[in-house]
């Protein structure tokens, strides 16, 4: 199965002149969403649509560090027919002038996918604090990756994925995240086609990769 990295669109003709599109009214709640695992408290998010931004099915914000998307009710209903990574929906209100829109933060729980990567065949970009590029590297396992980061304790290292290979036993999903590595999110070819056919707005896609073959 083919998969595509999926992100918020940056095209001004789609999202308008302002990026991100949203300004948060509830930063305490936005920052309380965990990167790993579900929310323990009931949260309701609120955002203003920024001046110059357009309303789309997927809306961008810098306020949430957890992995996911702010999605319209229409997109939420569409996703019911697809196989998603473990997730939860957090109610989100979008305010534009006197208008209020019902949205949701699709929060990926991010607890499973680290075990689905083929670390020996995947390629990581090693980036030091200050965005100094240290080149690429592969690892024997997730534990060896953690040890590598631990040894270089004087510098904060980020490990965005440059080339993704999933293990053969990976359960085929239509939408999933790998939040440990720069909050990357991926969509299946099937769901990507439906998003295009249904004219879902606010997404952009990159070149595909395929699941590992035995």
pLDDT in tens, 129-176: 767 888 999 999 988 988 888 877 666 777 888 888 888 878 789 999
Q: Is residue 74 part of a domain?
A: yes
Give the per-residue pLDDT at 46: 98
By C-alpha distance, which of 136, 68, 140 is closest to 108?
A: 68
Q: Is residue 92 part of a domain?
A: yes
Same-domain status, 97 and 31: yes
Is the pLDDT confidence value at 193 over 70?
A: yes
Same-domain status, 8 and 45: yes
Annotate 147-205 with three-state secondary structure: HHHHHCCCCCEECCEEECCECCCCCCCCEEEECCCCCEEEEEHHHHHHHHHCCCCCEEE
Above pLDDT 90, what percent of the chain?
Answer: 59
Is the dihedral angle over the CA atoms 147, 148, 154, 158 positive or is it negative?
negative
Same-domain status, 7 and 105: yes
Which pair of tokens denotes residue 118? 């083929």
Is the dihedral angle over the CA atoms 75, 77, 79, 81 positive or is it negative?
negative
Give the per-residue pLDDT at 110: 77
Q: Is residue 181 part of a domain?
A: no
* Mean pLDDT value across residues 92-99: 97
pTM of this structure: 0.86
Which pair of tokens denotes residue 146? 């953690």
Give the per-residue pLDDT at 170: 81
Above pLDDT 70, what percent of the chain?
Answer: 93
Same-domain status, 6 and 84: yes
Average pLDDT over the chain, rounded to whole? 89
Pairing of strands 157-158, 87-96: unpaired
199 or 143, higher pLDDT: 199
Give the per-residue pLDDT at 212: 45
50-54, 90-94, 107-111, 121-125: least confidently modelled range: 107-111
Sheet containing 68-72, strands listed edge to edge, beginning at the edge strand earlier in sequence:
22-24, 45-49, 87-96, 99-108, 68-72, 58-59
Same-domain status, 134 and 158: yes
- Number of domains the chain contains: 2
Give the per-residue pLDDT at 130: 67
Give the per-residue pLDDT at 214: 34
Same-domain status, 154 and 64: no
Q: Which domain holds residue 29?
A: 2-110
Same-domain status, 44 and 99: yes
Q: Is residue 155 part of a domain?
A: yes
Respond yes or no on whether the N-terminal peptide bond of residue 20 is cis (omega within 30° of 0).
yes
Same-domain status, 138 and 93: no
Give the per-residue pLDDT at 210: 55
The residue from 144, 163, 182 where one domain ends is 163
């Amino acid at each position: 199965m083919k998969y595509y990295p999926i992100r918020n669109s940056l095209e001004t003709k789609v999202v308008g002149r302002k990026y991100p599109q949203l300004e948060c009214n509830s930063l305490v709640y936005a920052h309380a969403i965990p990167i790993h695992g579900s929310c323990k408290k009931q949260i309701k998010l609120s955002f203003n649509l920024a001046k110059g931004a357009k309303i789309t099915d997927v809306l961008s914000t810098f306020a949430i560090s957890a992995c996911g998307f702010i999605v319209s009710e229409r997109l939420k209903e569409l996703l019911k027919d697809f196989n998603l990574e473990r997730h939860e929906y957090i109610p989100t209100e979008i305010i534009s002038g006197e208008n209020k829109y019902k949205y949701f933060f699709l929060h990926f729980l991010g607890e499973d996918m680290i075990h689905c990567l083929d670390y020996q065949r995947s390629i990581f970009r090693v980036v030091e604090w200050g965005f100094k590029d240290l080149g690429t590297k592969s690892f024997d396992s997730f534990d060896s990756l953690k040890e590598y980061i631990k040894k270089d304790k004087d510098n904060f290292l980020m490990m965005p994925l440059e080339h993704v290979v999933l293990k053969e036993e990976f359960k085929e999903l239509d939408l999933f995240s790998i939040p440990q590595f720069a909050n990357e999110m991926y969509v299946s070819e099937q769901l990507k086609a439906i998003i295009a056919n249904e004219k879902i707005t606010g997404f952009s896609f990159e070149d595909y990769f395929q699941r590992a073959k035995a």
